[in-house]
């Protein structure tokens, strides 16, 4: 069964304290792994797509990496405005276009 597990469930950081969020997945034929950011009361906002092991994408203080079993979202020198829930999702092979989401990591960055 296709599955996505994110850890930790919640993370509290001081401003400037770098860290990483983990997304472990089990999927038959990965077609893409997606990272989203979700603010309270809002829909998920697209951040990155990764397609194959070894691929990396960067945007401002965020960097996403992918291996055959997991993805990491590295946050460098975070700011309070980076506080949000970060969601990981995978798209499996077999012609299915739906996304399978993890439960998310709630990140709080304190000044």
| One of 11, 63, 76, 101 touching another protein (CB under 8 A) | 101
Whichever of 31 and 74 has its CB closer to another protein, that residue is 31
Q: What is the DSSP letter of 29?
A: S
105 touches another protein by CB under 8 A: no
DSSP letter for each residue of 58-95 = EETTEEEEE-SSEEEEEE-S--GGG-EEEEEEEE-STT
Residue 92 pairs with which residues in a beta bridge? none
4 touches another protein by CB under 8 A: yes
C-alpha span between 43 and 103 (Å, rounded): 14
Whichever of 42 and 79 has its CB closer to another protein, that residue is 42
| One of 13, 89, 107, 109 touching another protein (CB under 8 A) | 89
Whichever of 78 and 91 has its CB closer to another protein, that residue is 91
């Amino acid at each position: 069964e296709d599955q996505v597990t994110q850890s930790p469930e919640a993370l509290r950081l001081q401003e400037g304290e770098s860290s990483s969020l983990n997304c472990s997945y089990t999927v038959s034929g990965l077609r893409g792994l997606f990272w989203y950011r979700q603010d309270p009361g809002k829909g998920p906002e697209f951040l990155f797509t990764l397609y194959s092991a070894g691929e990396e994408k960067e945007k401002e203080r965020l960097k996403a990496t992918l291996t055959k079993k997991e993805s990491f979202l590295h946050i460098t020198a975070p700011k309070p405005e980076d506080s949000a829930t970060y969601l990981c999702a995978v798209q499996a092979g077999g012609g299915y276009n739906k996304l399978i989401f993890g439960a998310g990591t709630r990140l709080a960055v304190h000044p």
